[in-house]
Amino acid sequence: MMKRHGFAICLILSFALSAAAHYVGSPAFNPTLQFLIAAVAIIFAAGFLGKATESVAQYAGERLGGFLNATFGNAAELIIAIFLVKDGLFNTVKASITGSIIGNMLLVLGLSVLIGGLKYKEQHFNVKLAGHNASLMLLAVIALFIPAAFTRSLTTMETQTLSIIVSVILIVAYLLWLFFSMITHKTELSDQALEHGEAVWSKGTSVLFLLLATTMVAIESEWLVSTLEPFSHQYGLSDLFVGAFLIAIVGNAAEHSAAIIMARKNKMGAAVEIAVGSSLQISLFVAPVLVLLSLWFGNPMNIIFTVYELVAIGVAAIIATSISRDGSTTWYEGVLLLVVYLILGIAFYLV
Residues 297-316 that bind a second copy (CB under 8 A): 307-308, 311, 315
| Interface with a second copy in residues 161-180 (CB under 8 A) | 161-162, 165-166, 169-170, 173, 176-177, 180
Number of amino acids touching a second copy (CB under 8 A): 61
Taking CB under 8 A as the binding criterion, the range among 16-24, 143-151, 208-216, 250-258 that sits at the site for a second copy is 143-151
CA–CA separation, 241 and 126 (whole Å):
35
**How far apart are the C-alpha atoms of 351 and 335, rounded to whole Å?**
24
Check residue 322 for interaction with a second copy (CB under 8 A): yes
Considering only residues 324 through 343, tell me which ones interact with a second copy, judged by CB under 8 A: 325-326, 328, 330-333, 335-336, 339-340, 342-343
**142 binds a second copy per the rule CB under 8 A:** yes
Closer residue to a second copy (CB): 7 or 180: 180
φ, ψ of residue 121 in degrees (nearest 5): -60, -40
- One of 86, 124, 132, 264 touching a second copy (CB under 8 A): 132
Quick one: 78 or 284, whose CB is closer to a second copy?
284
Residues 220 and 42 sit within 8 Å (Cβ to Cβ): yes
Q: CA–CA separation, 128 vs 270, rounded Å?
A: 14
156 makes contact with a second copy (CB under 8 A): no
Chain contacts with a second copy (rule: CB under 8 A): 121-122, 128, 131-132, 134-136, 138-139, 142-143, 145-147, 149-150, 153-154, 158, 161-162, 165-166, 169-170, 173, 176-177, 180-181, 184-185, 188, 307-308, 311, 315, 318-319, 321-323, 325-326, 328, 330-333, 335-336, 339-340, 342-344, 346-347, 350-351
